[in-house]
Amino acid sequence: MLSVADAFAITQQHRLQLPAETVSLADASGRVLREAVSADRNFPPFNRVAMDGIAIRFTDYTAGQRTFRLAGVQRAGEPQQTLDKANECLEIMTGAMLPLGVDTVIRYEDVTIDDCQATLTIDTVQKNQHVHPQAIDRRAGDELLSIGMRLGPPELAVAASVGQTTLTVTALPRVALISTGDELVDIGDTPLPYQIRRSNTYLLQAGLASLGIAATLHHIVDNEAILEEQLATLLTQNDILILSGGVSAGKADFVPSVMARLGVQKQFHKIEQRPGKPLWFGTTPDKAVFGLPGNPVSTVLCAYRYVMPYLRTSLGLAPAPIRYARLAAPFVFAPAVTFFLPVRLTSEPDGRTLAHALPGSGSADFANLLAADAFMELPANRSEFGVDEAFQVWMTRSDR
Ligand code: AMP
Ligand code: MG
């Protein structure tokens, strides 16, 4: 059977090549950039006054002058003025161009103003103080936003400042989330004693929304012919199908055989892991299908260990940063498969991140995940895991 690392590598090798599209800046939040954005001007574009106050010539100050005649006001949004007389000053406002002939700004807090003159109330003045020099932050032509960046608030502000009314981003994949199973009813229904409400597709929908992907929800009964017919349609309408249920060894687990008939090439089925052993993954030249085991904890693990990283790289994002934590207490897991242990993470005063095991009652105990922040990946070739030993963790939340 396949190792976790090999299964992950296979999914990543088959990531989608999604096209680029152009969207307005207002619609670009959360999208992934496909064309770099450069500075059209210097940052800042002129010597920018950084405080409200007066602007003087530093040479007047070094010559001993402390009182300056007010010669005028330079506001933000006005063309640059000039001061050409000694011992004079201009009132200047934050965001204004520094007037020609002056080089140093004194804050209003550090002067008294009366009778058209300003007198310094401080002893120490640095040349060029409170001036934000032209081009000190970035130069015209510098690359500001790079391909593969996710557009969050600061990126959008920078894009706006250089006049990007539109941005080129990765087109979002069309994703269908499909639950299968005769025991599953809609969330608005009252389940009969042998039924449960479906929950996995809602979990997946919320997870995908955190990547900016709006997936559609579907449900299909455990009937092989109906499954084939409906999956054929969904396959033509979508780039990615994510199924929940129907990939294990049960009598109603038709997903692998149906996928084969629909021409989806199986890349793997089953991984040496717990939970989530029955994960199925297949592709066509331009589509991908994940068949997630229906047990809710398996679904969560497979979603965060395989599906979300797949969507990230398909969108053109770098993989999420690798994270580690230390076991807060020893843990034993004997079977020779990778064990994903639900953990709650705490940040300790000494800087360590500790993982507190939440073993729960197995892969159907999804209420247990309410307290969990991550799965800790415990390697297959070990049985005993010591206190304070560090292992990789896979975050299952973006809301904490
Ligand atoms: P399966 O993988 O189809 O054998 O399902 C395994 C277990 O997961 C069964 O107990 C199912 O009832 C449960 N299950 C499957 N799909 C869902 C779902 N969408 N929401 C909640 N539980 C599910
Ligand atoms: Mg089922």
Average pLDDT for consecutive 10-residue bins of the chain (400 residues)? 97 98 98 98 98 98 98 98 96 98 98 96 97 98 98 98 98 98 96 96 96 97 97 98 96 95 98 97 98 96 98 97 97 97 97 95 85 97 98 86
**Would you say the CB of residue 279 lies under 6 angstroms from ligand 1?**
no
- Residue 282 pLDDT: 98
For a pocket test of ligand 1, which of 295, 298, 363, 366 has the largest count of ligand atoms closer than 8 A to its C-beta?
295
User: Do 30-42+138-170 and 48-132 fold alike per CATH?
Assistant: no
Distance between Cα 295 and ligand 1 center (Å): 5
Distance between Cα 337 and ligand 1 center (Å): 22
**Would you say the CB of residue 298 lies under 6 angstroms from ligand 1?**
no
Tell me if the domain spanning 323-395 has CATH number 2.40.340.10: yes
Q: Which ligand is nearest to the CA of 223?
A: 2
**How far is Cα 188 from Cα 105, in angstroms, rounded to an integer?**
66
- Which CATH code is given to the segment(s) 30-42+138-170? 3.90.105.10
Does residue 91 contact residue 72 with C-beta atoms inside 8 Å?
A: yes
For a pocket test of ligand 1, which of 189, 244, 251 has the largest count of ligand atoms closer than 8 A to its C-beta?
244
**Would you say the CB of residue 293 lies under 6 angstroms from ligand 1?**
yes
- Which CATH code is given to the segment(s) 48-132? 2.170.190.11
- Residue 72 pLDDT: 97
- Which CATH code is given to the segment(s) 4-18+172-315? 3.40.980.10
Query: pTM for this one?
Result: 0.93
**Would you say the CB of residue 365 lies under 6 angstroms from ligand 1?**
no
Distance between Cα 221 and ligand 2 center (Å): 9
**Would you say the CB of residue 275 lies under 6 angstroms from ligand 1?**
no
Give the per-residue SS3 of the chain: CECHHHHHHHHHHCCCCCCEEEEEHHHCCCCEECCCEECCCCECCCCEECCCEEEECHHHHHCCCCEEEEEEEECCCCCCCECCCCCEEEEECCCCECCECCCEEEEHHHEEEECCEEEECCCCCCCCCCEECCCCCECCCCEEECCCCECCHHHHHHHHHCCCCEEEEECCCCEEEEEECCCEECCCCCCCCCCEECCHHHHHHHHHHCCCCCCEEEEECCCHHHHHHHHHHHHHHCCEEEEECCCCCCCCCCHHHHHHHCCCEEEEECECEECCCCCEEEEECCEEEEEECCCHHHHHHHHHHHHHHHHHHHHCCCCCCCEEEEECCCEECCCCCEEEEEEEEEECCCCCEEEEECCCCCCCCCHHHHHCCEEEEECCCCCEECCCCEEEEEECCCCC
**Would you say the CB of residue 244 lies under 6 angstroms from ligand 1?**
yes
Sequence spans of domains, the chain: 4-18+172-315, 30-42+138-170, 48-132, 323-395
Distance between Cα 150 and ligand 1 center (Å): 34
- Residue 399 pLDDT: 61
- Report residue 256 as tokens: 């692998």
